[in-house]
Chains A and B, each alone.
Chain A
Amino acid sequence: AQSVSQHNHHVILSEAASLELGCNYSYGGTVNLFWYVQYPGQHLQLLLKYFSGDPLVKGIKGFEAEFIKSKFSFNLRKPSVQWSDTAEYFCAVTLYSSASKIIFGSGTRLSIRP
Chain B
Amino acid sequence: GAGVSQSPSNKVTEKGKDVELRCDPISGHTALYWYRQSLGQGLEFLIYFQGNSAPDKSGLPSDRFSAERTGGSVSTLTIQRTQQEDSAVYLCASSLGGSSRSNEQFFGPGTRLTVL
Contact = CB atoms under 8 A, between A and B. Distances in A.
A17 B41 CA distance: 26
Contact of A46 (B42, B45, B100, B104): B104
A32 B99 CA distance: 12
Given A104-B42, A107-B42, A98 B100 contact: yes
Given A43-B108, A44-B91, A44-B107, A99 B43 contact: no
A99 B103 contact: yes
A37 B99 CA distance: 24
Interface residues of A, number: 28
Given A43-B107, A102-B33, A90 B101 contact: no
Contacts of B95: 99
Contacts of B106: 46
Nearest to A49: B104
Given A43-B108, A99-B31, A102-B33, A94 B100 contact: yes
Given A43-B109, A44-B107, A100-B50, A105 B100 contact: no
B109 A101 contact: no
A99 B105 CA distance: 10
B98 interface: yes
A101 B42 contact: no
B45 A101 contact: yes
Contacts of A43: 91, 107-110
Interface in B67-116: 91, 93, 95, 97-110
Contacts of B56: 100-101
A45 interface: yes
B99 to A, nearest CB: 6
Contacts of A90: 42-43
A97 to B, nearest CB: 7
B100 A99 contact: yes
A106 B42 contact: yes
Given A90-B42, A94-B100, 4 more contacts: A43-B107, A51-B101, A99-B31, A100-B56
